[in-house]
Structure 1
Amino acid sequence: MQHPEENPWKIKSEQQVYDNPWINLTEYQVINPSGNPGIYGKVHFKNRAIGIVPLDADLNTYLVGQYRFTLSQYCWEIPEGGGPLNEDPLDAAKRELLEETGLVAANWTAIQTMHLSNSVTDEFCLIYTATGLTQHEAEPEDTEQLTVKRLPFDDVYRMVCDGEITDSVTVTAILKVKLLLMENRIIL
């Protein structure tokens, strides 16, 4: 598909507003595409998002439950986390799966890439399936208080369709895996 390559936004100035080990917030003074002055804020992520859909031979998957500070509510999600930009994303996925669930997978397949909120952030995400699972000891980070559930994949698909799961990485991953299963493109 053809699209213009030229950026219609003109940056007049930029100022770092906030910085921590995970994110950076910059405010830009701009001339917008219509030629008018304005401001734009951008959250830069210092890690890439990683999501994993572990699938066992009986077509069960694993969800991780935790209280999400930003939403002030408990959420169910696939195993997910962040990987430094200079780290191989697959290595980050393997680490996150082990940390959160104690699972180690023999087979990994990248199934989706996506930007999570491209109107205000540059956060990039990779999603994998993990099969050939063996159980080991979970190694959660000290900031995580997690509950892990093993459920039939179709139950998790129903939870997504019914709006019980709203995490964007999980919704995307589960819908993509359902499509791949329907097309017989996942080998357990």
Structure 2
Amino acid sequence: MEKRGPWQVRAKAKVFENPFIELHTYDGIRPDGAPGIYGVMSPKTYAILILPLFADGTTMLVGQHRFPLDNYSWEIPEGGSPKSDPPLDGAIRELKEETGLTAQHWREILQAETSNSVTDEQAFGYLAWGLEEGDQELDGTEVIERKRLPFLRALEMVMTGEIRDLPSVAMILKAHYMAGSGQLEADLARAMLDGG
């Protein structure tokens, strides 16, 4: 019998798979000694998050319909990248695909577990600056609107609940903290905090 923390696992079964995710159930003994089943959703990709920062203190958000909650969401550029690729390669690809932007400078600022009670998904978050604009390269599942706005306006959208996507919230708050605590290039931080 396999141990996973306080759980004892008797059997694992794959109950669903598509090109993007697998769903497994674990049959075992709960921490209280009773029989139990645990379900885990496993994406086949890493979650990749990018906060683009322009020299004038603005950023670019993307807006799109999100199928699971049937709502429209403003968020930072994000997507999935094969686990066989370095996460930064996925970030470069996703930024270009969703926004048309390319960046001279990249910095990883976040590694996160997106919802670790139900999924083993891992996220990698990057700041991108030294930006050059170009054309989007959307895939057939995407209809994405772009919006360039001051970084502080994006922060306000987080605080008022206009941005509800948790990876976007985490990245924007982390970047704001880093800008205010001297952890970013001085000119970039000043532009972000001066209102763009």
Superposition TM-score, scaled by structure 2 size: 0.91
Superposed CA offset, 1:7-47 (max 9, x none): 21111112211001110001111101121111100111110
Superposed CA offset, 1:48-106 (max 9, x none): 00000000111100000000000110000100000000101001000000000000000
Alignment of 1:43-122 (within 5 A): 43-122=41-120
The unaligned stretches of length 5 or more in structure 2 are 189-196
Alignment of 1:1-188 (within 5 A): 7-187=5-185, 188=188
The unaligned stretches of length 5 or more in structure 1 are none
4+ aligned runs moved over 3 Å, structure 1: none
Structure 1 range deviating more: 30-39 or 124-133: 30-39
What is the CA distance between 1:6 and its match in structure 2? Answer: 7.0
Aligned pair count? 184
| Overall identity of the aligned pairs, in % | 47
Q: Please give the alpha-carbon distance, in whole angstroms, between the structure 1 residues aligned to 2:30 and 2:36.
A: 7
Q: Which amino acid aligns with 2:21?
A: I
Q: Which amino acid aligns with 1:79?
A: P
Q: Please give the alpha-carbon distance, in whole angstroms, between the structure 2 residues aligned to 1:27 and 1:89.
A: 28
RMSD of Structure 2 on Structure 1 (CA) = 1.2
Q: Please give the alpha-carbon distance, in whole angstroms, between the structure 2 residues aligned to 1:57 and 1:16.
A: 48
Superposition TM-score, scaled by structure 1 size: 0.95
Q: Per the alignment, in what secondary structure is the counterpart of residue 154 of structure 2?
A: helix
Q: Which amino acid aligns with 2:133?
A: Q
Q: Per the alignment, in what secondary structure is the counterpart of residue 34 of structure 1?
A: coil
Q: Which amino acid aligns with 2:124?
A: L
